[in-house]
Structure 1
Amino acid sequence: MRTPDGPQAEREKPKSGLDFDSVEDRFDYVVKRIEEKLDDYDGYDFSLRQTRALNIFFELAQEVRGRDMFYAVCMMIPRVLFRLESSIYLLEDEETFSLADSSTDRGRLESVRTWDRELTDRVVLSGDHLHIPIQCNPQYADLLPFKPPHNILGSFVMHPCSAVQGHEHLFLEKYVNRVGYQLHQRIIGSRNREHLRFIKSMVQDIGHNVIVPNMYFKLYFNRLKRQIEDLHLVTGRVLTRMAESGDPESVSEGNRLAQTAASIEAQYQEIYRHYETTSMFLETLLRRRHFEEGRYVLEKREVDLRTSVLEPQLERYRQALEERGIRIGYQLGGAPDQEVRMVMDRGLIAQVFANFLSNAVKYTEETVLPGGEAGKFLSYGWQVLKDYFGPALPGIRLWVTTSGPPLRLKDPMTVFKPGFRADNVALESGTGRGLYFARQVIELHGGSVGYRHDGRGNEFYCTLPFEQEPRPPRTLSEPGGQPKGSEADAPAP
């Protein structure tokens, strides 16, 4: 690629709010920049006409819609106020400039150009044509279709400029800088609209090509289940006849047939459990409203926490845990054996628990418990917390604890940041998204997440509002089954 001649001057990147320790520091920085800008404009000493040109540009740039109208504003201001004609070249890729628009006869201009001594990263006066590079906003260069060389979007060419003096050069450069930032925002906006159109189309494709076909598997599973039931009936009859025959070899073969049928059913049950979980996650994560609103949208209803959320995910990971030699037990604290019904988005909360268990499979390490027992251990549980979110607003705390040394963290919440991976995961695959996803889901429910090492193992936990659907008031009944105050107690007319 041929690049522009000459080095580009270094530009100080504006700070973001994340760079400051306090609100006061952020305010102080902005006040300082305002004062510096006041000094800059005193030094610019722009004429009234030049200042009005900038003001008119900002007002009209916000008023007009469409790229063509924006180009017209950019070119007509120099024509009306300074009698300058202009052309705009924009980079289509890292090497190619295309003529976007011109206030003069476009037929006489080259429609495609490459980097040369005029289209460069510096201001160039060639004859009576002044070429000013159109700068993008460096902070948002990564949002463009490609990384612009030297942070340049294109070139703004004006003429006749042979008589333009140094001070007027400065004004025209500042004017083109403002064109560049406005143009950058419009390119990003157009690109975002394209993304939104694609996402809306993709959502429809997902429903048509993924969700609906997946529902047919339920029909296939039901058919397979009936065939397995028929297989058991046939196997039972075969075993009876073989037993009546008295032939030991026939009985042995019949028993093998029964074992095979039982094994097929066990495999069917395991596959069906995975299908149910996968279907739930597909329908939950690819929910249409997520894409339409650009965020996770909860669909909450009351479910049994243990039987509908926790135990299905535990069964899903049980084999992987056993293969790693991880024992599920009560050495690190046990799960209460009780029914807990609460309102939640079942699919999303199940995915949170699945992420906790997925990490447990990969990162549980061997340890020696205080009682002397050695091995890899996992436990999970929950506890209702009275008035946790305020008076008469209980919470429920869920946790997964695994054996192993503590994570080396200055801030325990670091593990819930996107892309975080601890220093003990070099041999395990992962993206660092699971715990961040868990944090998003729990916070959407109005809860919180956390990590701690309690001396026995690493505990990942979340606390949710303990919401339940309202129950109808219970009415005391009189002997005979009629509620007190019912029609049976009313006096006869």
Structure 2
Amino acid sequence: MNDAKKSADVYSIKTKDALGVGVHLISEVGPEELLIIQRRVHEKMDDYKGYSFSTVEKRALMIFFDLAQEFDKLEEFFTVCTSVPKVLFGVDCRLYIAIGKDEFVPVGGTEAKSPICTSVPLEKEFKGGHLFIPIRGNHDLIGQLDFKPSGDVIGCFEIYNFNDLSDHQSLFFEKFVNRIGFQLHSKLLRRKGQEHLEFVRNLVKDVGHNVIVPNMYFKLFYNRLRDRIENIQKLSDELDSKSSGEIKNELNTLYAGLVSQFNEIHSHYEQTSLFLETLLRRRHFEEGRYIVEKRPCNLLKQIIEPQLERYKSRFEERGIRIDMSMGGVPDREVRIVADVGLISQVYANLFSNAVKYTREVVLHNGSHDKFTAYGWDHLKKFFENGWDGLKLNVFTSGPPLSLEDSEKLFQAGFRCENTGSEYGSGHGLFFVRQVVELHGGKVGYESGERGNNFYFILPFGPE
């Protein structure tokens, strides 16, 4: 038996598969790799002997390792990183995370109101009683982050309130921060993977809610189209028994119906294609989140009217009047830069809800009305940065929602008490909130005397 075979036998592990049948897993580590690893073990033994860490310092490393495994949430891990030096050595510290190339934000610290460093060094530095130690990620895994950090630095650890810093203390804290780096990079990648998976799950719901369910109407369109084609065939069979005038009138009626049906199907096809192209962009899957592609647009012509046209026949079927009393959206290039596909789906969700939940109300004069309305309001300096807001409203007549329901409207999976037998997944308004917040806006609800106003506010910035 040769040496390689002996090495493989040493690493042969007997286990059981799902059926309970014994199987062998052979390690792929060969004799050369085995020698390298064993040599590194001895080198680390010599290193730690040379470090001469005290009992408290060794205990700090062990406690940090144990707690880093125990506390699973990233925010809890940040607190563990700063709490261990504080409790065991009485020093204050702060953890910074890179959010872009050479851009860092504090994510945890032992003092809430202490000054925060605005410029984090990329190399170890001791200045004015503050020790800064960069946190470097795994070079082979850096490409999995959302950006390429300078020098593979994914964060920085600041320790302060030192009167003096010995070489031994500097070495210990450097080794401590090295352990933070390994755990931090692993946890960041894990969170990114979880967020990516959650995005895909939500995307499946978005496609189902905004594309697959509306596509059921294609069946209705084609059934109506088939009926009109059959009417043409019947008319052909009756040619001998009808006058030319009667035939001409019926042909005109059939022609007008076919043209109307064609336009409805074509409009539905265009919007379905837009939604699919928007939801299934390649970058969404690569980034694990919606990537907003903004451009200037005519809000009325490019977004609202196409969606209103899609739902027009359904409003008519349910006897819902379209009211313009809230003030129509201007027919011009408004100062909104938006993702046309995503904002179109926001209106599609709001109009779809309006079809399902608009109810009849009694007006002051005793007459009955059943209507939905859309419009806009210009809000001066609405956002914190001083930008104006464009408040876009979709109002439905009917009884106001309860306070409890109104507070949960935009949560995932929530459906109001008044939904009755109407089909719904509770995902539409959650999708609205997601898209609007991606645009830097806000969503909201207002109850009124005659019904309910669902609105969203988008930044309405300078030219």
TM tier, shorter chain? 0.3 to 0.5
Q: TM-score, normalised by structure 1?
A: 0.45
